[in-house]
A and B are shown apart, each in its own frame.
Chain A
Amino acid sequence: MDISAFVLFWAAIFTSNILLTNFLGMCSYLSVSREVESSFGLGVAVIFVLTVTAGLNWLVYHLILVPYNIVYLQYIVFIIVIAAFVQFLELVIERYAPALYYTLGIFLPLITVNCAIFGVSLFLVIRNYSFLQSISFGAGSGIGWLLAILMLAAIRRKLKEKLVPQGLQGVGISLIITGIMALAFVGFSGIVQIQ
């Protein structure tokens, strides 16, 4: 794939937003978006973990799995890399930045099971990205995810004082808002194609 890493970065944020067009990371998106502050915290953690694990998994895939011909183990290996990195990050933050740990720490376990992280690792293998492309795709996807969850959280804060039909409260109305946001993002889709 010869698409510049810079283009890929913007494409991952807007034209193929990880959440609004690829539906990845929905679980934590719906459950954490009650508050803007925690959404922001989780989003920042996702950007960081996504960027680093995209690079790590690219290295693991091309330097270990392909040479030893064990590509079929990629799922297990990717999951282990992600879980190990998150665990490591938790230890480091707790030791060296306790203040950050109290704001970000509670989100880290959630990230291991966030399908956006794992999904990006799978995308970069399927689409055959280079190392640089992988990192910029990971960073872009993370920023796109932060954008989506921040928008939903902000809208939900406004919705608190509004009357919502009983059956739609909670997840129902969140999904409809997400649908409208996704409609808006469809407007970007003609600019560049990355899949």
Chain B
Amino acid sequence: MTKKQIFITSAFTENSVWRQILGICSALAVTNLMMNSLIMGLGVTFSLALSGFTISLIRNWTPRSVRMMVQTLIIAAYVIIVDIFLKANMPDISKQLGPYVGLIITNCILMGRAEAFASQNTPLDSMIDGIGAGVGYSLVLLLIGFIRELFGFGSIFGIKVLGAWWTPWSIMVMAPSAFFILAMLIWIINIKYYKSKG
């Protein structure tokens, strides 16, 4: 596979969220605001790309029996970098994301990519795969965040777009809407998928 194919596959055709239903804890929890979704997406992309690179770099020296532990520790190291960076530079957003930054470690996407791709491919390919998976994940987050923030607050990235006439749907800010929107997205994607298969 060429680099471009790797990127397209992991970002779109095999998108972790809607094709494999991985890592949806955070996809649901942080998407009430688009800014939070964007920062979360960037954090996950960073951790995915670099942990993929590192895990792939040492894949030939990692004993199979402690492989999972090694992968988790590498991922955790990068997530700590993301966490410290956010605390230092964006304290407000870091506070809003709360435990969900740390929860990137147990996000199944990271372990999934590490197991499925990085442990068998070259470092550069793994990094591109990681960026692809991260971009795909971020896009889903931004899409859900867009719907929830638009209807829930009447704004996009904190900028009011719907005027004073708009009555915010408080349900969109609360937990249930996240489940419904993700279900709808999966439904639409699946219809397209079954159609293309004939």
Contacts and interface: CB of A to CB of B under 8 A. Distances in A.
Interface in A11-27: 20-27
Contacts, number: 117
B90 interface: no
A52 interface: no
Interface string B63-93: 0000001001100110110011000000000
B103 A27 contact: no
A189 B180 CA distance: 19
Interface string A139-163: 0000000000000000000000000
Interface of A: 20-27, 30, 72-76, 79, 83, 113-115, 118-119, 122-123, 126, 165-168, 171-173, 175-176, 178-180, 182-183, 186
**A-B residue pairs, 9 tightest by C-beta:** A179-B179, A167-B190, A122-B99, A175-B183, A182-B176, A115-B106, A23-B28, A23-B29, A167-B191
B28 A76 contact: no
Interface stretch (B18-26, B37-45, B119-127): B18-26
Nearest to A30: B21
B99 A172 contact: no
A27 B25 contact: yes
A79 B76 contact: yes
A167 B29 contact: no
A26 B98 CA distance: 18
A75 B188 CA distance: 37
A160 to B, nearest CB: 19
A171 B99 contact: no
Contact of B183 (A122, A166, A168): A168
Contact of B80 (A23, A72, A176, A182): A72
A75 B79 contact: yes
A118 B104 CA distance: 10
A76 B25 contact: no
Contacts of B191: 166-167
B33 interface: no
Interface string B24-56: 111011000000000000000000000000000
Nearest to A169: B190
A26 B107 CA distance: 10
B187 A23 contact: no
A176 B183 contact: yes
B180 A179 contact: yes
Nearest to B177: A179
A45 B143 CA distance: 35
Contact of B180 (A20, A25, A171, A176): A176
A22 B98 CA distance: 11
A119 B186 contact: no
B155 to A, nearest CB: 23
B174 A186 contact: yes
A115 B25 contact: yes
Contacts of B23: 27
Contacts of B106: 79, 113-115, 118-119
A103 B70 CA distance: 29
B28 A26 contact: yes
B63 to A, nearest CB: 16
A73 B105 CA distance: 13
Given A126-B99, A175-B182, A175-B186, 18 more contacts: A23-B24, A27-B22, A27-B25, A113-B106, A114-B106, A115-B25, A118-B102, A118-B103, A118-B106, A119-B103, A122-B102, A165-B187, A166-B191, A166-B194, A167-B194, A168-B187, A171-B183, A176-B180
B171 to A, nearest CB: 8
